[in-house]
Structure 1
Amino acid sequence: MEEQGREKDRTAELKQMTEFCSSIADALDFSHDLRCHSGSEFTSTMLEKEISSLNVQEGDIVLFYYAGHGCNWDDDDWPHMTLLDRQYWETTVFSKLKNVSGKAKLLLCISSCCNMDSEGRRRERQQYSTLDKEKTKKLFLGFEGKKAIVASSSIRGQYTYSWSSGPMLGSIYTISLRKTINEALNGTTNTELTWDAIFESTKNQTLVYTNGKQLPQYKIEINKPRNITITQVSTSKAQTANASIEEIWIEHNKMHNDVKCMEIHAKLITHYMDDKGGRLVALFESPKGTALKDMNNNYRTVDGQVSVGTDFGSHYEHAKYSNIIMIIPNSEIHAVKGQKDYFIRLGIYDYHQKKYIQFSDYIRFSL
């Protein structure tokens, strides 16, 4: 919500989603305990604290909703959410929520994330009418058994778009979801009051709004009581993570959003990294051994060296990454006047050990 240029749509998204959830609870005659976290609270620590504090009773409805940046990692088709302290699999959240929500009638785990972008202005406004109580109860409670649903705003490899200006602000996917639910519950559409129909209609609406660029995904499961006792998980590991950088190559003057950029590519092999994953970082020097100083606080390490990085991870103990790409605009390299030769060294940072576990040899390039 504090990112420059994105304050309006993200603030609107928080407000709209909070009001919408409250209206659903009211229509169901349920009390609610909505907990919203942004800013310095937008962390995995807060997320795990909230999950462990849940006291789900028979027939409850549990909803988790995330809006922010995200990405896809190698062996998981569901997104990775970019929290303030680290990245976090949506599938991990879904699994942890299922563990504590066995008594719930309905569990919804929804993420609106990727690399949020703007699709410009629209003329329509979000206007939600009063929800029909009987239809709301039919959708949220009127099915046999118990359901657990995981959904995300786009399939692997796609962006998630947002309107950041104009009369309708926020995530296009969740605008579509709220619109679909509202219209089904107030009778303005003939959408069937089932979750399959709701998410299919949301998918179609999102495709229309984004001109076919964004295809949402969802999965519906039977939610069975697990009777699992939540205990503190030991952070000790049988094996210490290690990694190797197999190959590095650079591509110059590649266009990204009409800006000339450098692409840094790498092949990696990792062993025993846990689900916190790691970060690949490119450190710039000129001359060799001397950190290239950042001038505008954009692409930099904490101590001011020009750098660019990207997070990565796997569900497997042993993983290969054939092409991790880091992109930095040419203007952000901050060339030194009269200096032609520059050097890059890659480092692999392990989030579990909280340190770099491997550095590459130097790669030389010229500007």
Structure 2
Amino acid sequence: MNRIILILPFLVCSIHLYGQTMHSIIFTNMEEQGRELDRTAEMKQMTEFCMSIAEALDYKHNLRCHSGAEFTSKMLEKEIASLNVQENDVVLFYYAGHGCNWDDDDWPHMAFLDKQYWETTTFNKLKAVSKKAKLLLCIASCCNMDSEGRRKERMQYAPIDKEKAKKLFLGFSGKKAIIASSSIRGQYTYSWSSGTMLGSIYTISLRKTVNEVLSGISNIGLTWDEIFEATKQQTLAYTNNRQLPQYVIENNSSRNIAITPLPSRKTKNAQAKIDKIWLKKNIMHNGVSCLEIHVKFNTHFMEQSGGRVVALFESPKGYMLKDTNNNYCTDDGQVSVGTDFGSHYEHAIYPDVTLIIPNDEIHVTKRNYTYYIKLGVYDYSQNKYIYFSDYVTIEKS
């Protein structure tokens, strides 16, 4: 009996050491037209990277990958809500797709199929369900576009030293939560979409840096500060100083990261008003002649899910202008163009939101070259339009 009692503590320690889980949630828009190759490569490489880390840590791996019809904010929220994070688990969220900046947040907004979504909102929600986690990583690679350069080498990864991996992911005091994105506000995020090395340049740089550190072929220290600083320098070198990543490392506490104060609890339904609309005709974008629709508007009491400003085309007035190729249109086939917006503030002003549609996508018939534009403001919280402007009349040239 005494021997059994002496063995029990060691069994408990063994269960505690090897019972942890690495939770990997990966969203990659692999089916976007023209981006299939690099996004598919990105999903494969990130999946393999997470699997190798979980194996090095001797952790179970809870891997959840989403693309196609599942590339939505609703699926993200479902995944976050279903997480069961235990003491000393590791949680990694990764997004690869389009994105942008909104009014008052220096972190990017991820462009899911259903709507855009703050990375800071994702980070805060992940923190809320990951308080027991030893490490939380929230990484977004947004606003990808093809870079001008091409590198000839293939990315090859060396075997990972398990002890180094455990020191980096687990060997620090307390608990850490890290938010990172591929570029600072106002910058594009570049990717390689052809050649021998495909995927997000930033994420390739991050994986390369981590692998070199964990395989012992780099003198970079085993800290996340040094990892992300080295990733910055690698990304800058690959993009000729055009893309500067950003990150924040904090203790995993209940404090939420926000660039501006969060609004008080909403007491009224959202309101909006368009103050001014002005047009610029035949403006060239990437060699294509386009119509620019500029809008100044304000909103009040909108939720943080934001909204969308949409230009709806009619010809004649009161009759929807039918789309013929399913490129710029509403769900019911009306020619349209729109963009998402949002703010942390209850009362927000948007001085110049620009909607761009190619002239060839405005499918006016030859019998009537006059068409009309009506601007609508859609509220995602209420799932309806909350404001429509007066008509703007245009004679097609």
Q: Smaller-chain TM-score range?
A: over 0.9
Taking the aligned partners of 2:144 and 2:296, their CA distance within structure 1 comes to 23
More displaced 10-residue stretch of structure 1: 38-47 or 316-325: 38-47
Change (3 A) 1:313 1:193: same
1:164 matched to 2:193? yes
Off by >4 Å, runs of 4+ in structure 1: none
Amino acid at match of 1:289: G
Aligned twin of 2:381: 352
Aligned twin of 1:241: 270
Change (3 A) 1:225 1:102: farther
How far does the alpha carbon of each residue in 1:297-320 deviate from its partner, in whole angstroms, 9 at most, with x for none?
A: 101112222110000011111111
Q: What is the CA-CA distance between 1:286 and the residue it aligns to?
A: 2.6
Aligned twin of 1:182: 211
Aligned twin of 2:116: 87
Does the CA contact (< 8 Å) of 2:93 and 2:137 recur in 1? yes
How far does the alpha carbon of each residue in 1:260-297 deviate from its partner, in whole angstroms, 9 at most, with x for none?
A: 21111111111111011111000122332232222211
Does the CA contact (< 8 Å) of 1:119 and 1:161 recur in 2? no
SS of 2:226's partner is helix
Change (3 A) 1:18 1:346: same
1:137 matched to 2:178? no
Does the CA contact (< 8 Å) of 1:146 and 1:222 recur in 2? yes
Aligned twin of 2:77: 48
SS of 1:35's partner is strand
Taking the aligned partners of 2:185 and 2:176, their CA distance within structure 1 comes to 24
Equivalent residue for 2:94, pick from 51, 55, 65: 65
SS of 2:37's partner is helix
Does the CA contact (< 8 Å) of 2:144 and 2:191 recur in 1? no
Does the CA contact (< 8 Å) of 1:119 and 1:162 recur in 2? no
Q: What is the CA-CA distance between 1:237 and the residue it aligns to?
A: 5.7
Equivalent residue for 1:334, pick from 359, 363, 370: 363
Taking the aligned partners of 2:233 and 2:284, their CA distance within structure 1 comes to 31
Taking the aligned partners of 1:120 and 1:3, their CA distance within structure 2 comes to 22
How far does the alpha carbon of each residue in 1:164-198 deviate from its partner, in whole angstroms, 9 at most, with x for none?
A: 11111111110110011111122222112111111
**Structure of larger gyration radius:** 2
Aligned twin of 1:152: 181
Percentage of identical aligned residues: 73
Amino acid at match of 2:307: G
Equivalent residue for 2:228, pick from 189, 194, 199: 199
More displaced 10-residue stretch of structure 1: 50-59 or 285-294: 285-294
1:99 matched to 2:128? yes
1:21 matched to 2:57? no
Aligned twin of 1:315: 344
Amino acid at match of 1:146: K
Taking the aligned partners of 2:172 and 2:90, their CA distance within structure 1 comes to 13
Listed as ranges, the gaps of 5+ residues in structure 1 are: 227-235
Amino acid at match of 1:311: D
Taking structure 1 as the reference length, what is the TM-score of the superposition? 0.93
Does the CA contact (< 8 Å) of 2:272 and 2:377 recur in 1? yes
Aligned twin of 2:41: 12
Aligned twin of 2:260: none
Does the CA contact (< 8 Å) of 2:98 and 2:110 recur in 1? yes
Two-structure CA RMSD over aligned residues (Å)? 1.7
Taking the aligned partners of 1:255 and 1:135, their CA distance within structure 2 comes to 52
SS of 2:356's partner is strand
Q: What is the CA-CA distance between 1:134 and the residue it aligns to?
A: 1.9
Amino acid at match of 1:19: E
How far does the alpha carbon of each residue in 1:66-96 deviate from its partner, in whole angstroms, 9 at most, with x for none?
A: 1111111101111111122221111011101
Taking structure 2 as the reference length, what is the TM-score of the superposition? 0.86
How far does the alpha carbon of each residue in 1:324-350 deviate from its partner, in whole angstroms, 9 at most, with x for none?
A: 111111221124225343321101111
Listed as ranges, the gaps of 5+ residues in structure 2 are: 1-29, 256-264
Amino acid at match of 2:71: F
Aligned twin of 1:232: none
Taking the aligned partners of 2:220 and 2:289, their CA distance within structure 1 comes to 46
How far does the alpha carbon of each residue in 1:12-68 deviate from its partner, in whole angstroms, 9 at most, with x for none?
A: 111110100111111122221111111122222221222122221221111111111
Paired residues in the alignment total 358
Q: What is the CA-CA distance between 1:120 and the residue it aligns to?
A: 5.5
Amino acid at match of 1:281: V
